[in-house]
Every structure is written in C-alpha cells, then in structure tokens.
Amino acid sequence: MPWLQEKIWPLEAKLTAEDIHWGVKLGCLEMIRFGITCYNDMYYFMDETAKATKQMGLRAFLSGVVFDSRPEFKAEAESFIKRWKGDELICPAVGPHAIYTCSEETLAWARDTSEKNGIKIHIHLSETRGEFDDSVKKRGKSPVQYLDSLGLLSSRLLAAHCVWLTENDIRLLANRRVNVIHCPVSNLKLAAGIAPVDRLMAAGVNVCLGTDGASSNNNLDLFEEMKMAAILQKNACSRPEAMTAKDIWTIATENGYQATGLALGLAEGALADLSLIDLRKPWLTPFSNILSLLAYSMVDGVDTTIVNGKVLMKDGKIPGEPEILVRAQERFERLTS
C-alpha cells in the first residue's frame, strides 16, 4: 500500500520508546473521553505500549507486529507474550501484519504461537482490491482461503477490514467463527472499499467495530464510527432498514467483548468496565429511542469512564491530561522536523 510505504513507514522508522510512551497515552486519553474501555492493537515497542496503557488504566489486547523484513520481531513478540500473559489489564496476542508482509512460514508460526499460548491472533485481512487480486494470482486462493489452508481461521482470529470477500469467503469466516473488525472510516479515507457487513452478519459472522487508528481515520471516536458504518451499509444495500441502530450498537459493544472472550454485561462477576453518558445534551434532545440517539446523534457526552472498577474519567475530567497533550505535541514536532 503506497500510503504505508510512502507516508507511515518512513516516520515509524524514527520512533523511539519515548515517542511511543506519549503517543500511547494520547491515544488512551482520547479513548477514555469516548467511553472506550478496552482496545486491540498491533505495533512496535509493545512493552512501552503496555506500560503506558496500564498507567492510563485501560484494558488492551496487544500484539507486537511481525514482518518478514524484520525477523527479530518474532523473538520480541514471544518475549512480550511471556512477560505479559496473565496480566490483569494487558492481554498479549500474536500480530502477523498481513499476508503480503508475512510468509507462509511466519503465518504458521503465528498460528502455532496462538495455539500454544491460548491467545488471539490479530491480522489485516483482504483490505484492498490489490491484496485480493495478488493473492488469487499468486496462490489461486483469496486471502481468506489462503489463511484457511494454513489453519489460521478460528475464533482466536481478529481479522481487521475484510473488505474484499467472495461468498465462499463469507461462509468460511462464519463456519470458522472468525471475528471480523470493520473499520469503515479508514476504508473510505484510503479508498479501500466498503466491507459487506450486511452479508457477513446474515451469515452469522461476529462483526466488531474498529477505527484502525488515528493515522488513517483521523480520530478514535467509536460513536462516529457507528454512524458511518450504519449509513454506509444502508447505502451499499439500497435498503434504509439495513444495519439498524440495535445492530450497530451490538457490533460496537457486545460483539467486541465476545471477540475478546472476556466476561461482559451488567451481572455479578462481570468486569467492571463501563461508561456513563450525560443525556442532557442538545443533540440528544428530545429523548426518545436511546439506541438511535447513540448511533446517529452522539457528538459528545461521555461523562464517566470506568475500567476494572477504577474511575478513569469523572465529570469529563482525566488526571494528567494537560501534560499528555504537551508531551505528545513535543514528540510530534521531533518526528516531523
């Protein structure tokens, strides 16, 4: 992808642990403001990412990204898994970047590492038409079929994007109980296409919602993502009743936790991860259908965010926010100077 090769990777080559520390805290700050309690990501400097995330109090599924061009990343990923497995907030995972950056051997390693440790696999899958066409030309298989031939399709797989799919691909994803992470804003911004979420849901695939990160979005607002996902599917299907408010709310909340395997819900013994929303806002008035308001009208209004029983934001205030904003700006200026 030219966007990665020409814009992102050159900047990432300059990153230091200090950059990651404040960048992660900035991302966590934004997620806390939007009421997000748990996130999933793959990147570099995962130990620093995990430490900063814990300091901010969020829950996260984190995987050190693995490319064939950096063979040392496998050993680093394995060490990260050993250090953080069993942590209260940080759940280590395996992160092969994509089929176009990882060989068959690397993908098999990811499968085996996941099975051995009982952890998730996070991968970018069938995001662009080019990725799909190249796979068919090179292997005679779609990206989904290729991963299935390697034994990677299972309930442990968190597959981001899944934009370009055949009907057979959709059946495979459903039968193998793969978790698909839909990232509509990123897909539109990068002109990747529109994922067939309506057909995925009809087939019984567990579809979740993601932002793909600020660099390709440009924010971490899951409420904005909900609205975009819903109206995109209505337009793509030419059916205004497609992707209801209940559908999109489920995708953004329950399905995400189902993908992680964590206990959820307002029940005794469930994780104390929740956010409180102030409904006394102009964009939420007049009050009627709560799910419709949250899916289509939400601009701001998360008042309190709680993770693991700890209050991370109360009355819209987050401890340490001013310093994080200053430090993040400093790191940005260093990277772009």
DSSP symbols for 167-206: HHHHHHHHHTTPEEEE-HHHHHHTT-----HHHHHHHT-E
Question: Is position 123 within any domain?
Answer: yes
Q: What is the structure's pLDDT at 335?
A: 86
What average pLDDT score do residues 234-241 get?
Answer: 94
CA-closest candidate to residue 48, choices 14, 81, 24, 28: 24
Question: What is the spatial distance between Cα 225 and Cα 34, in angstroms, rounded to a whole number?
Answer: 11
Question: Is position 5 within any domain?
Answer: no
Question: Is position 165 within any domain?
Answer: yes
Question: Is position 9 within any domain?
Answer: no
pTM, to two decimals: 0.94
What average pLDDT score do residues 141-153 get?
Answer: 99
Give the pLDDT band of residue 336 (cuts 50, 70, 90): confident
Single-letter amino acid, residue 264: L
Q: What is the structure's pLDDT at 3?
A: 65
Question: What is the spatial distance between Cα 240 and Cα 40, in angstroms, rounded to a whole number?
Answer: 31
What is the count of structural domains for the chain?
Answer: 1
For the segment 246-285, what is each residue's pLDDT rounded down to a tens digit?
999 999 999 999 999 988 778 888 889 999 999 999 999 9
What average pLDDT score do residues 41-56 get?
Answer: 96
Tell me, what CATH number does 54's domain have?
3.20.20.140
Question: Is position 11 within any domain?
Answer: no
Which residue range forms the structural domain that includes residue 192? Answer: 17-332
Question: Is position 155 within any domain?
Answer: yes
Question: Is position 12 within any domain?
Answer: no
What average pLDDT score do residues 215-231 get?
Answer: 94
Question: Is position 6 within any domain?
Answer: no
